[in-house]
Amino acid sequence: MNGHAANRRAPFLKIYAALVFIFIYLPVVVLVLYSFNRDGVGGFPPRHLTLDWYRRLFADASIWDAVVNSLMVAAGSVALSLTLGLLAALALDRANFHGKALFRRLVLLPLILPGIITGLSLLMFAVFAGAQLSLFTVFLGHGTALISVATTEIFAGLQKMDRAQEEASLDLGATPWQTFWRISLPNLKLSLIAAALLIFTLSMDEIAVTFFLIGRDNTLPLEIWGRLRRGITPEINAVSTLIFALSVGLIVIWYRMRASALGAEAQEFLERP
């Protein structure tokens, strides 16, 4: 390709791309930097580096209550949406029924629609059903909205799966149940883990749906939201920095896992006679 000629003419493009990267990362850098700033958020340059805000954060009981609440909701949502998403993906892949196209679109709606619409619809439903708003309604909301993510991920995995293995298993006398546990599920491992990680992160961060379904106990984003309205302190920077570090950690783990799984697949392929 005429790549050299193109590259020679690209310095402006390169500078532009660098500027876009700066724009994307500026808030993250500011956030992390000011979490160590003794004099609070704002002002320039940050000076008197300190870990005080982290110390304060670790002593702050209501933040940790909110973290525990968020973790419970996220774990529950992963279980709920992964189970229903797996079944929905299997149904879309293997069963034919009336309204299948409608079902597919309906499942995906929470992914496409603004969060406020799904949140308010669920609020009306909770009121209609006479349910008390609590972490449980938040969990039902997250779990239901995120079936969309689970279904998409797992359905993609099913499309790539080799059905011959399942057929062989059934032909050799395994029950459908055994085939499901020993063939289908292990084959879907990567899609299931990807979906679980994604659902977990999305639930931990969710605010638009949570906003309308929350009762007395706060999730972490709503606790932060409440504090923002009262004014800003570097304690929020500190907790955000920790969340960011945790998310990046999760991504790194995920890439390692995917790389090793792909490595194993490649190995298997090479060793085939």
Partner 1 sequence: MYSRAYKMLVSLPPLLWVGLFLLLPYALMFAHSFWAVRDGVIVHDWNLHNYATLFSKPVYVEVLLRTMRIAASVTLSSLLLGYPLAYYLSFHAGARKELLYQLVIVPLWVSYLVRGYAWKTILGGEGVLNGFLQYLHLTHEPVAFLLYSPFAVVLVLTHIYTPFVFLPIYAALEHIPRPLVEASQDLGAGSLQTFLRVILPLSIPGLLAGATFAFVLSLGDFLAPLLVGGASGTMIANVVQSLFGAAFDWPLGAAISVGILILTISLLFLSERLEKRWSFK
Q: Which of residues 190-219 bind partner 1 (CB under 8 A)?
A: 201, 204-205, 207-208, 212
Q: Tell me, residue by residue from 215 to 244, as one string, x for binding to partner 1 by CB under 8 A and - for no binding.
A: ------x--xx--x---x---xx--x--xx
Residue pair 92/155 in contact (Cβ under 8 Å)? The answer is: yes
Using CB under 8 A as the binding rule, whether residue 21 contacts partner 1 is answered as: yes
Cα–Cα separations (whole angstroms), residue 147 to 37, 109, 168, 255: 41, 10, 30, 23
What's CA 142's distance to the chain center, in Å?
A: 11
List 73, 166, 199, 200, residue binding partner 1 (CB under 8 A) = 166
- Residue with Cβ nearer partner 1 (84 or 190): 84
- Cβ proximity of 184 and 120 under 8 Å: no
| Site membership for partner 1, residue 49 (CB under 8 A) | no
The answer to whether residue 94 forms part of the interface with partner 1 (CB under 8 A) is: yes
Taking CB under 8 A as the criterion, the residue among 17, 51, 68, 185 binding partner 1 is 17
Report if residue 136 touches partner 1, rule: CB under 8 A. Answer: no
Position among 51, 113, 185, 253 found at the interface with partner 1 (CB under 8 A): 113
DSSP 8-state secondary structure symbol assigned to residue 133: P
- Cα 77 to chain centroid distance, Å, stands at 11
Question: Helix, strand, or coil here: 49?
Answer: strand
Nearer to partner 1, 26 or 261 (CB): 26
65, 71, 75, 103: which one contacts partner 1 (CB under 8 A)? 103
Q: Does 116 bind partner 1 (CB under 8 A)?
A: yes
Q: Are residues 218 and 61 in contact, defined by beta-carbon separation less than 8 angstroms?
A: no
When asked if residue 60 is in the footprint of partner 1 (CB under 8 A), the reply is no
Distance of alpha carbon 136 from the chain centroid: 19
> Considering the rule CB under 8 A, would residue 140 count as an interface residue with partner 1?
yes
235/155 Cα distance (integer angstroms): 41
Q: What is residue 47's three-state secondary structure?
A: coil
182 three-state secondary structure:
helix
| Least distance in angstroms from the C-beta of 273 to partner 1 | 28
Query: Is 266 a binder of partner 1 (CB under 8 A)?
Result: no
Among 38, 55, 163, 256, binds partner 1 (CB under 8 A): 163
